Amino acid sequence: MKNCLITFLFIFSTSSIFAQDDYKESGKKGNWIITNQFGIATLEAEDFFKVRASVFEGAFSREFFLNEKFSIVTGLEFLRVKADFQDLDNKQQHISNNHINLPLSVKFYNNKSDKIALFAEVGLYGSYLYESKVENIFENETQKQKKLGFNFGQHFIAGLRFKLDKKYSASLGFKYKSDFSSSYSDSKQQFELTEYYAVQLGLYLVL
């Protein structure tokens, strides 16, 4: 998987350079994109629990046009995962995990110039779990762990982009993603997020 990530990053770097050069000449550079996602996922804590969770994600991305149908997208995502579970003493607990994600994907449009364009996006991501908070609401107790570790996964997005005017567009889509690898220190609880299904709302600013 590490080799796949390195290969993907190399393709992104070289493609972005060529894309920027080509579209500087044509006046077409790319988009800034702001998206929000909300949905459900499966959260698993190794040797502890596996439950359904609520997910809330915001992203700020840059899209680099390669041609009329393809582009490369990368940026920063801020993900919050919330769930309830029972601990080993059968006490009800609430967990909130906060991640910073770095996604990298290839995006396809059926026709970028149409007022309503169909798009699909597939790629990889790295996710840093910087904080995990567990609360016992009834006993008013809170436990926090920080700098837990990294997860790596794949994502897929499909939807419609609606052109509002020459500068702005909006989008409505569906996002799926799933972790496939992780790297945590031995002293930290290891988490895995799978079966992530979310509705995506987006705003595009043409450069």
Nearest one of 39, 66, 44 to 157, comparing CA atoms: 39
User: How much is the pLDDT for 47?
Assistant: 83
Q: Global pTM?
A: 0.83
Residue scoring higher pLDDT (17 or 78) = 78
Average pLDDT, the chain: 87
In order of start, what are the domains of the chain with their CATH numbers? Answer: 2-206 (2.40.160.20)
User: How much is the pLDDT for 28?
Assistant: 64
Q: Tell me if residue 115 falls in helix, strand or coil.
A: coil
Q: Residue 47 — left, alpha, or beta (φ > 0 → left; ψ -120 to 50 → alpha)?
A: left
What is the arithmetic mean of pLDDT over 39-59?
A: 94
Whether residue 132 has pLDDT greater than 70: yes
Whether residue 143 has pLDDT greater than 50: yes
User: How much is the pLDDT for 18?
Assistant: 52
Q: Tell me if residue 124 falls in helix, strand or coil.
A: strand
User: What is the 3-state secondary structure of 1-65?
Assistant: CHHHHHHHHHHHHHHHHHHHHHHHHHCCCEEEEEEEEEEEEEEEECCCEEEEEEEEEEEEEEEEE
